[in-house]
Structure 1
Amino acid sequence: MKKLFQPIDNAPLIIFRIFFGFLLAAETFGAILTGWVKENFIKPEFTFSHIGMEWLQPLPGNGMYFYFATMGILGILVMIGYKYRLTLSAFTILWTLTYWMQKTSYNNHYYMLILVCLIMIFLPANRYASVDVKQNPEIKSWSMPQWCSWVMILQIAIVYLFATLSKFYPDWLDGTFTKNLLANKSPFPFVQDIFNQKWFYLFIAYSGIAFDLLIVPLLLWKKTRTFAFIASLIFHLFNAVTLQIGIFPFFALSFAVFFYPPEKIRSIFFKKKAVLDFDNLPSDKNKSILLYFFLPYFILQILLPIRHWFIKGDVLWTEEGHRLSWRMMLRSRSGYTVFKIVDKQSGQEIRYNVRSKLTEKQFNMVSDKPDAIWQFAQRIKKEFASQGKDVSIFADTHVSINGKKLKQFIDPKVDLASADWNYFSHNDWILLYDDKEK
């Protein structure tokens, strides 16, 4: 405990703030430039918010362009350390609302950005090389408590740990998923020929497990640290090029600064920074932030990824407990859903054009994701209710995991308009994988 509060050079935290702010700006400005904002917020008639957040919808017109541009500017302000806690808090709120607002283009690093933003708000990352220091020199500091590095290491360790555990299922272990993932990923025929080789996609599958399992211990050990960093660089750059998963590979790489001795980071990035005898500096004895924020925070971070173990059924099939669990790049889903809408009063089936209400991405989501199917059924129900009609809604859904045989997914006899969504346990209208087709 005493060592956690021992002062160390704050160079790792300062350079991470700069990297982090740049990545926040790159993510948000990039979302505008690549058309991501248009596809997910401007073009759709509505968004599939997280359940319970249906009231949270995009700003009208071109409002979301200004929304994301504001986040981009806030990212730059975080990078330069201007009113650091205020600008980072504002970004965190806006980004969290964005996260809750749509899940059609869900990505784990969107969730991770929220978590790291929350952590960084509580860390003294503006005490050096910042506009805040220039405006108020009294806050300048060359040190930080050692726990500031350890909370960042623990966060990335949790991500890698649960990413490892989730890969221990048959389609990963026999290379089925990685084979499908690498199919048609290269524009060069000779490279694609390598991707199609069994030895290669099995190598990718098992190197993925080995990397996720060992990267944190190897970075912690001095003798293997540089080797581990090079391996991390190759691994994440390969993912960035072949999988095109946004800023996540670079975001993950930026955590490396917390594994190296602070003096090493200072010598690389802040050559003019004062060198002090940190061993003789007084320890920070304020334990309240660790006890009242970080302890509950990390308990929750351990509980969320294991909650699906206590929900009936295989999360790979049901999706219940999938999000917030670091189940990254793990499986492919495909399928179809046909809605049957029946007027309760007349008993007649009503024709409904699903495609006219959804973008292509949304339509694909409603084809195989249980929460989206249920939410869309509720939306259809409200639409007909506004016309004075009370309807029953049934879904004939078949789903395939990793290109395997389609199986019935939703009980076609259950009226989804009347069904509830259970947040914490299995929804019985989602058929289990081993259930016989009805």
Structure 2
Amino acid sequence: KLENKQRLMAERDAAVAAMPVDHQMDRKLGKSFGPRNLSEAEGGVMEYTRRRHRVLGEYTHVDVSDQFSAFGKWSVSIIYFAFWVFLMFPNWFLPIGRPGIALGGGLMMVVWRYILMVAGHGPFFDVEKVIIMEPLFLLFGLMLTTIYLEKMERGGLFDKLRDSLDDPVNWKRVAKIMAMSTIGSAAVMNDSVVLIFSAVVVDLCVRHKVANSMPYLLALSSTANIGSALTMTGNPQNILIVSLAYDDISWLEFAMNMFLPTLAATFINAFMLFAYYSSEMFPGSSGITENLGIMCGGNRTPEMLAQEHAYYARQAAAKEGQDPEEASHGWSMWSQIQVFIVIVFLIFFALGFDVCVVSITAGAILMVIAAYKRQNYDPRPDTTEYDADGNPLPPKKTYDMDGNEIQPEEEELVTESETTLTEVDYGLLMLFM
């Protein structure tokens, strides 16, 4: 049976390779391989298979397990299992971290596969054609985009999202965190959302003197995973699946297929979270019936009313001591540019453009805007020194060996390579590689 299967596969590969090539159609399709249901005049399933092999190249899986010796199979399995254990316990022997362990394991496997091939215990292994680049490009582009959306301006788009999560009522605060995490993970990437907003959630818990922050952090992490399943850009695993899928799936088609499962998982997750942590969500409530009345009817327990009064008292005290200019601060020009880029970014996703190219382009545009803003609009850092009474000191003069005054050098411009670009998690890229 195995021989017949391999013979049939070889015959099909040979038939696909011998097919006449329509170069004009290939140029028109680009990196897409078009719909699966082609007519007989267009070439049918065989033409679709040829297009798919042309686009995916070496991404198509070929089973070569029968070409290993017993020693080769066992040694490869032991190496894989050992590094899998190291990834589970990254600081077991040395504090290398998961990215370093994953990179070391990959390099060791490449070297070992070469040794097996030379020794006659394994087949040829072309590692360059095994690494799938799309998830890495997407990961870099989305990290670049989210970092610039967060760091471009204090009080910008991400700061306004943070402020919108605050609420005096516990269950509403959790619901806002869940909604933001679900939508944000679907739009950009779950890793970025969790990294950026976990500190915000902890800060909200400290601000409201919450004794147990677990429900809030679970709401963030669980809905980030659920929301990321909605789109192919939600996590790198989705783009990996789409890259290897037999059908050509667009961003919008993927989202439409995953909408109902994601919606169902969101409601189930919310129900379980609210039921398990009902005492933290609804302080002073007597049970599920009263909880439903609080959520649907707007009822309040005495404990919840006390929390609301304390919250609004803090808000009033903060406004009294706030600068009037800060209090009236609205959407600046830079915040509006951020919103516009995000909308265009999602529209291009929905129109079916390459998600890797769109995400990297959006990040590059935001990088140029941030550099222009820093050079022409942001205030220069104040390097003036002051004495004990707060009076500014004159700049210090320096002299050379002949007693001539050395003129201070012009201040060098701070580049993006020294600031925001250093915050891209390159270790995560190494881990996925």
Q: TM-score range by the shorter chain?
A: under 0.3
Identify the structure with the greater helix proportion: 2
TM-score normalised by L of structure 1: 0.20
In terms of fraction of residues, the more strand-rich structure is 1
TM-score computed with the length of structure 2 as normaliser: 0.20
Q: Higher RCO, 1 or 2 (CA under 8 Å, sep at least 6)? A: 2
